[in-house]
Amino acid sequence: MRTAAYTHFISLPITSARVQGKVAEFHNIARGRSGLEGMAESSLVKPSRMHITVGMLRLATEEDRRAAAGCLESLGRGVREILGGGSLDVRVYGVETMERDAREARILYAKVEDAGAGGDRLRRVCEYVRDAFGSAGLIDGGGMQRELKLHMTVVRASGTSPVANGGEGRRARSRRRFTVDARALVEEFGQAPFGTCRIGQIQIARRFHFTEDGAYANDGILELP
């Protein structure tokens, strides 16, 4: 039996104009680089959709969505205790590939880390939220077993590639297998700063649904200090 698709994800939106501007600058440079030939424009994740993903959710019914929103709301006190009354500030920097071999990359991301004095509050908040959703049965066992890799995706490669044995000049859409050679980008931007910003919310973001300004729509918000 086929597993239902994810409908939502727990998101820490990155709304900083400075960080989003740096993402746009990176995209402009990436467009002209060798190794990325054939990559679709849609591969460049819109700056308005920058975020850190905490966990993936399957919320097929209104009841599921209410349960997720209620779970998130109930975590406010615990999150504030982790933050110690302060804000959650993060530093965004450097570009890496999700794949081990940058010659065949599909996902390029910027690294994120806590910019506060404690140094680990970002991970503690994310783990606290994910564990609570797992205990509530809102993240399945497979999701809980995956490594919590804190990152901000900037490129999700898709595009055209030659058809195997298809003859010269023929091309085909290949979203699942399309890769790029990102070695030059990783070498140039491996430590490049994107900026420091405050995380103002945790959201139950809706996949493939967006607001008028291009950000993800959501079915629940927890405001942060």
Q: What is the mean pLDDT of residues 142-147?
A: 80
**Confidence at residue 37, expressed as pLDDT on a 0 to 100 scale:** 83
pLDDT for residue 74 is more than 60: yes
Q: What is the mean pLDDT of residues 63-69?
A: 98
Higher pLDDT among residues 56 and 4, named by residue: 56
**What is the pTM assigned to this prediction?**
0.90
pLDDT for residue 28 is more than 90: yes
Higher pLDDT among residues 122 and 145, named by residue: 122
Higher pLDDT among residues 34 and 23, named by residue: 23
Q: Encode 144-209 in three state secondary structure.
A: HHCCCCCEEEEEECCEEEECCCCCCCCEEECCCCCCECCHHHHHHHCCCEEEEEEECEEEEEEEEE
pLDDT in tens, 92-116: 999 999 999 999 999 999 999 999 8
